[in-house]
Structure 1
Amino acid sequence: MENDLNRANSLYIRVPGGYGDNLMATAVVAAVRREYPDMRIFVATKRLDIFENNPHIAGLYNTRTLLKKNMSVYNRCCVLEYVPYAKIRESNEKKHWIDFFYDCLPISIKHRTYQPEIYLTWRERNCRSRRLEKLQRPIAVISPYGGATSKIPNKFYPVEKWPAIVAGLSEASFSVIQVGEKKEGPVLPGVIDWRGLGYRKSAAALLHCDALITHPSGFMHLATALLVPCLTLFGGV
Structure 2
Amino acid sequence: MAEGNPFAHLIASLGWQRQRAENLIRRWMIFRGARGTVNWRWPWPFQKPWQRARLRLCSHGGGIGDELMCTPIFREIRRLNPRCHITFLSRHQDVFERNPHLSAVERFTPAAAANAIYLQYNLVLPPPRPLVTLMAECVGLNLSASHLEPPIIDPSESIRARIAEVPGPRIIIQPQASRWTPNKQWPFASWTRLVEMLVERYHVIEVGTQSMFPQPQFGPRFHSFAGETTMRDFIWMLSQAAVFVGPVSGGMHIANAYKIPSVVLFGGYEAPDGFDYPFAHRFFTPVDCAPCWLTTPCPFELKCLHAIHPDAVSRAVVKAVEANASKLAEA
TMscore range, shorter length: 0.7 to 0.9
Amino acid across the alignment from 1:192: H
Counterpart check, 1:36 vs 2:75: no
Q: Which runs of 5+ in 1 are unaligned?
A: 86-92
Query: Structure 1 runs of 4+ off > 6 angstroms?
Result: none
Alignment CA distance shift 1:163-1:229 (3 Å): same
2:26 aligns to what? none
Secondary structure, aligned partner of 1:140: strand
Asked if 2 retains the 8 angstrom alpha-carbon contact of 1:156 and 1:216, the reply is no
Asked if 1 retains the 8 angstrom alpha-carbon contact of 2:50 and 2:77, the reply is no
Amino acid across the alignment from 1:33: R
Alignment CA distance shift 1:39-1:188 (3 Å): farther
Amino acid across the alignment from 1:151: T
1:162 aligns to what? 191
Which of 69, 81, 106 is the equivalent residue of 2:120? 81
2:96 aligns to what? 51
Alignment CA distance shift 1:188-1:146 (3 Å): farther
Asked if 1 retains the 8 angstrom alpha-carbon contact of 2:173 and 2:206, the reply is yes
TM-score normalised over the length of structure 1: 0.79
Which of 151, 156, 159 is the equivalent residue of 2:181? 151
Alignment CA distance shift 1:167-1:5 (3 Å): closer
Give, in whole Å, the separation in 2 of the partners of 1:78 and 1:100. Answer: 13
1:208 aligns to what? 240
Alignment CA distance shift 1:55-1:76 (3 Å): same
Amino acid across the alignment from 1:23: L
User: Map of 1:1-237 to 2, 5 A cutoff?
Assistant: 3=47, 9-17=53-61, 18-64=63-109, 67=111, 70=112, 74-84=113-123, 95-105=129-139, 107-108=140-141, 112-121=144-153, 123-124=154-155, 128-147=159-178, 149-151=179-181, 153=183, 155-171=184-200, 173-182=201-210, 186=214, 188-190=216-218, 191-195=222-226, 196-235=228-267, 236-237=302-303
Residue 82 of structure 1, CA deviation:
1.1
TM-score normalised over the length of structure 2: 0.58
Residue 161 of structure 1, CA deviation:
1.9
Asked if 1 retains the 8 angstrom alpha-carbon contact of 2:177 and 2:248, the reply is no
Amino acid across the alignment from 1:230: S
Asked if 2 retains the 8 angstrom alpha-carbon contact of 1:146 and 1:217, the reply is yes
Amino acid across the alignment from 2:71: T
Structure of higher RCO (CA pairs closer than 8 Å, 6+ residues apart): 1
Q: Which runs of 5+ in 2 are unaligned?
A: 1-41, 268-301, 304-331
Give, in whole Å, the separation in 2 of the partners of 1:166 and 1:143. Answer: 12
Residue 126 of structure 1, CA deviation:
7.2
The worse-fitting range, judged by mean Cα deviation, of 4-13 and 158-167 is 4-13
Give, in whole Å, the separation in 2 of the partners of 1:187 and 1:15. Answer: 37
Alignment CA distance shift 1:203-1:42 (3 Å): same
Give, in whole Å, the separation in 2 of the partners of 1:4 and 1:222. Answer: 30
Give, in whole Å, the separation in 1 of the partners of 2:162 and 2:50. Answer: 49
Residue 216 of structure 1, CA deviation:
0.8
Identity %, equivalent residues: 22
Give, in whole Å, the separation in 2 of the partners of 1:170 and 1:184. Answer: 16
Asked if 2 retains the 8 angstrom alpha-carbon contact of 1:116 and 1:224, the reply is yes
